Amino acid sequence: KDYRIATIPGDGIGVDVTVEACKVLDRAAALHGFGLKWTEFDWSCERFTETGAMMPEDGVAQLSAFDGIFLGAVGFPGVADHVSLWGLLIPLRRAFAQYVNLRPVRLLPGTTSALAGRSADELEMVIVRENSEGEYSELGGRHNKGQPGEFVLQESVFTRVGVERIIRYAFELARTRVGRVCSATKSNGLIHSMPYWDEIFAEISAEYPDVHSEQCHVDALAARMVQQPERLDVVVASNLFGDILSDLAAAVTGGLGMAPSGNINPPGEYPSMFEAVHGSAPDIAGQGIANPVAQVLAGAMMLEHLGETACAQAVRDAVEQVLAEGSVATPDLGGKSTTAELGDAVAAALG
């Protein structure tokens, strides 16, 4: 069987890490008796600079028939960040109803981060971020521009359908894991949206008496993630809170270079999209030193989503083997290897 995958390498290190990840995934697939048929799209800030658009007008339609979308990263100096986000990522996430952003967090060997040295079992969690509404909204605007009374309004949108489905997804996921869900909230400060979120969380948790549930203010949760992450497993959060918490969780475990994510359409009606948590890293772009592990692990999430569980596990095992062995490591891991050397090592570790 062949899977048809759309790949959008994007900008900066997105391009470097995607090449390595595709190499690893191709080898893993071949060893497991299936193929990945890649179709590459040059949608990026570079394209924006040349044509005025991140992607063609029928971009969504072009991707809709694929089994999965594999994205590097978009964003580059000189092109405002909201252009790359609202011109590509957000339209795709919304058109394909990828309302779950799944960000598994694991303490990997070879890590130089804050929590390095703890046992990996203590630190195994997954952030379930709402990916289609919430604080990332176009509603609002700037008023009294240039006058002393100038102000902006930025509204959030929390729909019942949107909040229910993300929280339910978190509880279902918890059932397949250790049965714990923590909801990130801030109902003391955000007096409309977060109490509503809390109310729905309470309703749904009543449907899952077998799952331990708790809620935690997002600021306290951020501290807890650093100081006492042991009792966290599934963390469910709104779009903004989930975005921040997942970068934090990535930073304290493996670093941004090792954190994958999936934009999931749970019913499977539309393609899901897999990417690293990190961005295009202009500070190291073009130097061949980006860590490809996050993108490789994003590929493993894609294989898992396609139902190729054994192959996905083989990819994760190969990554861990190379990191534990430690002789091939990019600069962010304290080594001197290149992106391609680390990619080659992981591909070789597949057997």
Distance separating alpha carbons of residues 99 and 83, to the nearest angstrom: 21
Partner touching 106 among Mg ion, ligand NAI, none, CB below 5 to 8 Å by kind:
none
For residues 201 and 260, which CB has a smaller minimum distance to ligand NAI in the complex?
A: 260
For residues 268 and 286, which CB has a smaller minimum distance to ligand NAI in the complex?
A: 286
Distance separating alpha carbons of residues 331 and 325, to the nearest angstrom: 16
Partner touching 205 among Mg ion, ligand NAI, none, CB below 5 to 8 Å by kind:
none
For residues 174 and 273, which CB has a smaller minimum distance to Mg ion in the complex?
A: 273
* Region near Mg ion per CB under 5 A, out of 92-100, 162-170, 185-193, 237-245: 237-245
For residues 6 and 89, which CB has a smaller minimum distance to Mg ion in the complex?
A: 89
Closest approach, Cβ 349 to ligand NAI, in A, equals: 19
Closest approach, Cβ 290 to ligand NAI, in A, equals: 4
In 3D, which of 119, 95, 90 has the Cα closest to residue 107? 119
- Could you list the residues that contact ligand NAI (CB under 6 A)? 13, 17, 73-76, 81, 84, 89, 256-257, 275, 278-284, 290-291, 294, 332
Task: Characterize 5-40 residue by residue with b for buried, 16 or more Cβ atoms within 10 angstroms of its Cβ, and e for exposed.
Answer: bbbbbbbbbbbbbbbbbbbbbebbbeeeeeebebee
Distance separating alpha carbons of residues 3 and 5, to the nearest angstrom: 6
For residues 29 and 285, which CB has a smaller minimum distance to ligand NAI in the complex?
A: 285
Closest approach, Cβ 300 to Mg ion, in A, equals: 20
Task: Characterize 91-128 residue by residue with b for buried, 16 or more Cβ atoms within 10 angstroms of its Cβ, and e for exposed.
Answer: ebbeebbbbbbbbbbbbbebbebebeeeeeeebbbbbb
Closest approach, Cβ 243 to Mg ion, in A, equals: 5
Output 162-167 pairs: Cβ under 8 A, ≥24 positions apart. Answer: 162/99, 162/130, 162/132, 162/133, 162/134, 163/130, 163/196, 163/197, 163/200, 164/200, 164/204, 165/99, 165/266, 166/99, 166/100, 166/128, 166/130, 166/236, 167/200, 167/201, 167/204, 167/236
For residues 200 and 250, which CB has a smaller minimum distance to ligand NAI in the complex?
A: 250
Distance separating alpha carbons of residues 346 and 340, to the nearest angstrom: 10
For residues 101 and 183, which CB has a smaller minimum distance to Mg ion in the complex?
A: 101
Partner touching 243 among ligand NAI, Mg ion, none, CB below 5 to 8 Å by kind:
Mg ion
Closest approach, Cβ 149 to Mg ion, in A, equals: 33
What binding mask, one character per residue, do residues 317-336 give for Mg ion by CB under 5 A, x or -? --------------------
Q: How many CA atoms lie within 13 A of 20 on its CB side?
A: 28
Among 243, 320, 341, 344, binds Mg ion (CB under 5 A): 243
Closest approach, Cβ 279 to Mg ion, in A, equals: 8
Distance separating alpha carbons of residues 63 and 55, to the nearest angstrom: 11
Closest approach, Cβ 190 to ligand NAI, in A, equals: 24
Closest approach, Cβ 3 to Mg ion, in A, equals: 27
For residues 239 and 330, which CB has a smaller minimum distance to Mg ion in the complex?
A: 239
Give the interface with Mg ion as residue ranges (CB under 5 A): 243
